[in-house]
Structure 1
């Protein structure tokens, strides 16, 4: 008899084959749901709406400080991105390098320690000696006001100045006006896309910086995992089936690009895409978006260290603490 599961996942190209039914989960009668905003999936996960769900790494890790930590993770990484490109500055603020952020007011999207923020604060600390307590922090929405996410724990470490933006305020407008000096955000400020000269990226040539970061560290930063309730995580065969289905869907998406190289990706609307694909393949390898713990241990352990160092986890967690036991050898 098939096990009924409700699965929440954002509509990426590497989950498309799951959402449209091309890839079934063996032994499972699956219902797939998505949402316009991935944070809506996170909130519904907290509310117990899903059996299996994409979940932001920091949202997931914050539950480990609860008396009854409800989730474990499958080593599936639906969302990952290099994040040097996620740091923006007011061009009149005199910020030319990361060390210049000391003493400045920095906006951060959604909460203190959203996933790109954890990664970049960690990079700032490791590579530039900058710590969060050296700056002031304002939390909010980039181009649309958002309230505090009251459905997730929001620890603030001692000695760090953090406030939420006032009602109706947006971090993008505050950055353009100079009310804040910098911004770490998953969303690019609309003003920058519109050509404003008052906002720039901290790393103008961010692709070169991010490629160098990968060459030096081997880290392709993960933002999200797939979370399951602990009682479900104990069912080894079921977890293996879910993991394999996500892997198969991802492989379909990757193979499309490998096959497309034969015809110089004539189905893509982006000029010179084949050159970009060749460069990425040479740097990142044949499986440039890996799942499984083996290929991602350094990524996970680095994020876990950053999360603890930034006061967002009470103890330093390990990969073994957070991954479903049946998938530790993936």
Structure 2
């Protein structure tokens, strides 16, 4: 039987390395692994559907489900996760000392619909009394001008989102006090250069550990999608890929445990791993629907509350539960 040839675009993650170097091969599938930066992958897939399988922003994927004929289905596989308290930056000259001080302020974000921003706005609203419609949002590139939303938005009138000028960047606007904060995935270059620009949560590690202890949420940033018509023609692909992604993840876990020669360039890797396991427990990056049900439920609610998703979708509507229902993840 000929193996199915599929293109797969994804960033060069340790949890995907075994798929990239061939140690793990999906049953019946040969993957042409294309190691691409995430923004390029998202743009090319959302605009042109260039890849059979690819890494995808969880928020962008959820927005494609608003369409009459959604183009993708998602696997219960999450290559990117990130606590996002640490990625909120403020200019203290605007009188911001605590999260509640953001009410009535101007917040920059690369795209209103980006996953990091959805998590950050949801957390600020739910835990710190900063309603989504209580601030003004400004969108554009952090360091390079001209960034646009990848997906057209239809937001309620109560939410104010304004693109910045064609020659402006959010980093310089924060440095100059033209905006009061940035909610992003990346660190703006003005941080460390401009004294009044700092983290909103200075002790973000402790804040994020406490957040996990209370919510059990390690925020999902990205999932893996395949073209819907490909899935409908070959429904076995989803299960085969999910098994392979899980096997690759398990090898990445094992790499972190090696002590005779460090595979990761962190001199105190053992202590860092012990600290992570103490805070998050084993299997902290595990794939699968059930282990991540509460995370997907929270994100789906945030997306709807922020005027993005057309309705609150269940985890079963977001990812293919059948891809992992017959084996342990």
The TM-score normalised by the length of structure 2 is: 0.93
CA distance in 2 between partners of 1:167 and 1:314 (Å)? 30
Partner of 1:257: 256
Secondary structure of the 1:223 match is strand
Matched, 1:315 2:311: yes
Task: Give the superposition deviation at 1:104.
Answer: 0.4
Count of residues paired in the alignment? 323
Output aligned runs, 1:187-202, within 5 Å: 187-192=186-191, 194-202=192-200
How many angstroms does 1:312 deviate by? 0.2
Assess if the C-alpha contact under 8 Å between 1:233 and 1:324 holds in 2. Answer: no
- Work out whether residues 233 and 325 of structure 1, in 8 Å CA contact, stay in contact via their aligned partners in 2: no
Any conservation in 2 of the 1:112–1:156 contact (CA below 8 Å)? no
Shift of 1:287: 1.4
Mapped to 2, the partners of 1:305 and 1:14 lie a distance apart of 28
After TM superposition, the structure 1 stretch with the greater mean CA deviation from structure 2, 268-277 or 75-84, is 268-277
Q: Return the offset for 1:245.
A: 1.1
Q: Partners in 1 of 2:32 and 2:213 — Cα distance?
A: 40
Q: Name the SS of the counterpart of 2:62 in structure 1.
A: helix
Q: 2:83 touches 2:218 (CA, 8 Å); kept in 1?
A: yes
- 2:26 aligned partner: 25
Aligned partner of 1:205 in structure 2 is 203
Contact 1:191 1:199 in 2 (8 A): yes
Distance 1:272 1:249 in 2: 24
Q: Does structure 2 conserve the Cα–Cα contact (< 8 Å) formed by 1:140 and 1:170?
A: yes
Note closer, same or farther for the CA distance 1:120–1:275 as it changes in structure 2 (3 Å cut): same
Q: Counterpart in 2 of 1:302?
A: 298
Deviations 1:119-140 (A, max 9, x none): 0111111112211211111001
Separation in structure 1 between the aligned mates of residue 180 and residue 290 of structure 2, nearest angstrom: 39
- Could you tell me which residue of structure 2 aligns to residue 40 of structure 1? 40
Q: Which runs of 5+ in 1 are unaligned?
A: none
Contact 1:133 1:159 in 2 (8 A): yes
Shift of the 227–266 alpha-carbon distance from structure 1 to 2, 3 Å rule, reads: closer
Corresponding residue for residue 229 of structure 1: 227
What SS does the aligned partner of 2:55 have?
strand
Residue 71 of structure 1: CA displacement? 1.3
Quick check: 1:80–1:224 contact (8 Å CA) kept in 2? yes
Alpha-carbon deviations, 1:281-330, whole Å to 9, x = none?
12222212110111111111110010011110111111111222522636
Return the alpha-carbon distance in structure 2 between the equivalents of residues 102 and 118 of structure 1.
17
Is the Cα–Cα contact under 8 Å of residues 3 and 29 in structure 1 kept in the other structure? yes
Query: 2 CA distance for matches of 1:207 and 1:325?
Result: 33
| Superposed counterparts of 1:1-330, under 5 Å | 1-35=2-36, 37-46=37-46, 47-109=48-110, 111-149=111-149, 151-192=150-191, 194-234=192-232, 235-260=234-259, 263=260, 266=262, 268-327=264-323, 329=325
Residues in 1 aligned to 2:205 and 2:322: alpha-carbon distance in whole angstroms: 37
C-alpha separation between the residues in 2 aligned to 1:24 and 1:269? 27
**Cα contact 2:242–2:324 (8 A) shared by 1:** no
Conserved 8 A contact 2:289-2:321: no
CA distance in 1, matches of 2:7, 2:96: 47
Q: Which secondary structure does the structure 2 equivalent of 1:99 belong to?
A: helix
User: Structure 1 residues 296, 85: CA separation in 2 closer, same or farther (over 3 Å shift)?
Assistant: same
8 A contact 1:293–1:327 mirrored in 2: no
For the aligned residues, what is the CA RMSD?
A: 1.6
TM-score (norm 1): 0.93
3-state SS, counterpart of residue 195 of structure 2: coil
